[in-house]
Amino acid sequence: MPQREDAVALDAADPLASFRDEFALSPSPATYADGNSLGPPPLGVRARLAATVEEWTNDLTGAWKRWVDLPLEVGDRLGATCLGAAAGQVVVCDSTSVNLFKAVNAAIDGCDATRHEIVVAADEFPTDRYMLQSIAAQREMTYVMADSAAAAADACGPSTAVIVLSAVNYRSGELCDVPAVTARVHAAGAEVVWDLSHAVGVIPIELDAWDVRLAVGCTYKYLNGGPGAPAFLYVARDHQTRLQQPLWGWFGQRDQFEMGAQYEPAAGIRSWMAGTPNIIGTVLVDEGIGIVARAGIAAIRAKSEQLVALAIDLADELLAPRGWTVVTPRNPASRGGHLAIARADARNVCATLIDKALVIPDFRTPDVLRLGFSPLMTRFVDVYDAVAAVATI
Ligand SMILES: *Cc1c(COP(=O)(O)O)cnc(C)c1O
């Protein structure tokens, strides 16, 4: 079994080790294992915030001539760094929930009207399921809930308009074969909207090469953009005109400041915005992307695979004899950046770990404890300490 000194040796050899120094870390003695839920602040955000407040102070509305393009500029940077997306296809704005609403409605409007089903997996993230329920109710469509992501993809047929899938499942950490599933759904004549919230910043993503048309995701998890940071929306260039999003706001309007009587969508990805973007939030997202860009997704993924592998080895040795099962797939190619383990009393264990300031994990009903490892700041020794602490409860 790996010992604590083995973890220390892995840290000494870790090419990403120095990135930990670029984050403001909590003084709590607890090991933070929830960066997949909310990443800590990059140190650089203080200067970026101060500069933005300065710009706001001095230039007031005059700053909008620069700010108006910021959601597209940061979108391009995110696309190049993390999404395999050429410029002009990603916008940073709104929340993942709202972007999902836009993308799913656009996908439905782009489909043949005889297609009346919206498909989702039962273990999909709650906001995704609720958004689809509301869209199905508003449009009098059929909401189809499959047992798993694989079953959902299999359920796509001649009646399906759209399916929503996560690249990495927020509970189990299972990683989908995005290009293969995308090809299957498109072959069935349906659209797929990918939710990349638990994948972006930790998994190599190639949206252009994978022929993805629509994707959304969060920036406050592995990208460390801050609580409630604006989300992103990707629309493949070839589909930006064919598909139209339903929230007609003045930031998506052609000639915005002409204030015309009639809505006319702007060209390209700009039309996928609705209202005034959150500039301070977008600046902080840019700071998070900058760190990922310097580290490189390939190096981040390599370390992430090693972190989870160490956690699984330790879980097999320390936790399996105590009644825990590993939920996360064992094949590194089939999983994301967090470990999910299950035991009937996981809720209480999670509360005790937090109360005793040992580990900050999170609990997902009914019986899953998640340990999230963020390669830019999680050390191998943190993985060791987190799993060892669970074993003591
Ligand atoms: C975190 C997460 C969300 C959150 O959506 P918000 O609109 O930011 O609250 C949505 N989907 C998935 C898969 C997530 O992991």
Q: Which of 36, 95, 125, 129 to mutate to test the pocket of ligand 1 (most atoms within 8 A of CB)?
A: 125
Distance between CA atoms of residues 160 and 230, nearest Å: 30
Residue nearest to atom 2 of ligand 1 (CA): 197
Q: Which atom of ligand 1 is nearest to the CA of 98?
A: 7
Can you give the pLDDT at residue 161? 98
Residue nearest to atom 4 of ligand 1 (CA): 96
Catalytic residue among 19, 23, 32, 125: 125
pLDDT, tens digit only, all 393 positions of the chain:
899 999 999 999 999 999 999 999 999 999 999 999 999 999 999 999 999 999 999 999 999 999 999 999 999 999 999 999 999 999 999 999 999 999 999 999 999 999 999 999 999 999 999 999 999 999 999 999 999 999 999 999 999 999 999 999 999 999 999 999 999 999 999 999 999 999 999 999 999 999 999 999 999 999 999 999 999 999 999 999 999 999 999 999 999 888 899 999 999 999 999 999 999 999 999 999 999 999 999 999 999 999 999 999 999 999 999 999 999 999 999 999 999 999 999 999 999 999 999 999 999 999 999 999 999 999 999 999 999 999 999
Query: Is residue 221 flagged as an active site residue?
Result: yes
Amino acid identity at 7: A
Question: 10 Å Cβ neighbour count for 5?
Answer: 10
Can you give the pLDDT at residue 178? 98
Tell me how far the alpha carbon of residue 194 lies from the centroid of ligand 1, in angstroms.
12
Residues whose CB is less than 8 angstroms from the CB of residue 246 and which lie 6 or more positions away in sequence, other chains included: 101, 102, 105, 106, 109
DSSP string, 131-152: HHHHHHHHHT-EEEEESSHHHH
Residue nearest to atom 5 of ligand 1 (CA): 96
Can you give the pLDDT at residue 123? 96
Distance between CA atoms of residues 383 and 315, nearest Å: 10
Omega prior to 126 cis, within 30 of 0: no
Tell me how far the alpha carbon of residue 95 lies from the centroid of ligand 1, in angstroms.
8
Q: Which atom of ligand 1 is nearest to the CA of 195?
A: 13
Query: CA angle, corner 349, sides to 25 and 386, nearest 5?
Result: 40
Can you give the pLDDT at residue 238? 97
Closest to 315 in 3D by CA, of 246, 381, 390, 370:
390
Question: Which residues is 232 bridged to in the sheet?
Answer: 92, 217
Indicate if ligand 1 lies below 6 Å from the C-beta of 166.
yes
Can you give the pLDDT at residue 290? 98
Catalytic residue among 102, 115, 221, 379: 221
Indicate if ligand 1 lies below 6 Å from the C-beta of 128.
yes
Amino acid identity at 348: N
Instruction: Look up residue 265 and give its two tokens.
Output: 């969508």
Distance between CA atoms of residues 97 and 44, nearest Å: 28
Query: Is residue 220 flagged as an active site residue?
Result: yes
Distance between CA atoms of residues 56 and 392, nearest Å: 51
Instruction: Look up residue 162 and give its two tokens.
Output: 């759209």
Question: 10 Å Cβ neighbour count for 259?
Answer: 8
Distance between CA atoms of residues 110 and 130, nearest Å: 21
Instruction: Give whole-number Cα distances, 85 to 80, 231, 246, 297, in Å.
Output: 6, 16, 23, 14
Closest to 244 in 3D by CA, of 212, 271, 217:
271
Question: 10 Å Cβ neighbour count for 135?
Answer: 22
Tell me how far the alpha carbon of residue 218 lies from the centroid of ligand 1, in angstroms.
6
Query: Is residue 66 flagged as an active site residue?
Result: no
Beta strands of 171-226 (E only): which ranges? 191-195, 214-217
